[in-house]
Amino acid sequence: MSKMLSLKNKTAIVTGGGSGIGKAIALLFAKQGAIVHILDLDANAATQVVTEITDEGFSAFAHGADVTDQQQIVLLFQTIKTPHILVNNAGIAHIGNVEHTSETDFDKVFKVNVKGVYNCLFAAVPLMKANGGGVIVNMASVAAHVGIDARFAYSMSKGAIYSMTMSVAKDYVKDNIRCNSISPARVHTPFVDGFINKNYPGNEAEIFEKLSQTQPIGRMGEPVEIATLALYLCSDEAGFITGCDYPIDGGFIKLNN
C-alpha cells in the first residue's frame, strides 16, 4: 500500500460501485486501505466486486440498494455508522433533446441522478458531522459545463450535481466536511460497449473510434483514471480542497469550445 494517498482505516461508501467507474473507485480505495461499502441496485454485481477485493486481502461489503429510496438509504447509512468518505457515483444516462425527452424519461433521470445523490447526502452529512467531518465526491459530467447534442435530461441532472456540490461545500465547510465533484468526458465502460453493440451492430469498431475522437486527446478515458482523481480528492493530501469541480476530459471542454 502506498504511504501517500492512504485511506487506511477509513470507511468509504461508493454508490453504483458494481461496474464501470464506481467499480474502479471501489477497487482502488480498498487497495489504499479503505473499508469499502459498495451500494448498487444490482446486488450481484456489488457482491462480485467485493469478492475481487476480499480475494486480494482487502476489506469490502456489498449492499443491494436503491438510491432513490430515501428511507432505505438513511437506514443503511445508519448501519454503516461512521462514513468518512462518500462517493456519489450511481447514475443513468439518457439520449434525446427536449422534444425527444418524455415526462417519464425526465422523471426517471431526475429521480436517479439528482434525488439519488440528494438522498445519500441527506443520509451521510449528519453522520459525518457527528464523526468530526468527512469527504464527499459527486460524479458530475462535462455535460454540466457545455452543451452536448441530445443530452437534455442528462445535462440537467449533472448541472444539478455541480450546484449541489457547491452548496454542500459552502454549508458544511465549518463542520470539516469537504465536498467536490468530478466531471468526466466519455469514459470506456461496459455501458459504452453495450450502447454501441445495441445501436450499431456490425459497425462497432467505427463508432467506437468516432466516439473516442470526440475528445481532443483522441481516446476515451479509462475508469481507473477517474478513480485515481477521486482517490486524491478523498485523501488527506487534498485537505485544502473543497467546493471545486474537476473536469477530466481529454481536453473536451477547453479545446472543443
Count the Cβ atoms, other than its own, within 10 Å of residue 114. 20
Q: Under a CB-based contact definition with an 8 Å cutoff, are residues 230 and 20 in contact?
A: no
C-alpha cell at 112: 436517479
User: How many whole angstroms separate alpha carbon 182 and alpha carbon 225?
Assistant: 11
User: How many whole angstroms separate alpha carbon 113 and alpha carbon 241?
Assistant: 24
Question: Is the pLDDT at 2 greater than 70, yes or no?
Answer: no
Task: For each of the domains in the chain, give its residue range(s) and CATH number, in order of start.
Answer: 11-190+223-255 (3.40.50.720)
pLDDT tens digits, 223-247:
999 999 999 999 999 999 999 999 9
User: How many whole angstroms separate alpha carbon 215 and alpha carbon 250?
Assistant: 5
Angstrom distances, CA of residue 201 to CA of 150, 207, 214, 238, 243: 21, 10, 20, 44, 42
Mean pLDDT of the region 63-68: 98
Q: Which positions are annotated as active-site residues?
A: 154
Strand partners, 13: 37, 86
Closest CA to 120 of 61, 170, 80, 156: 80
Confidence (pTM): 0.96
pLDDT tens digits, 7-36:
999 999 999 999 999 999 999 999 999 999
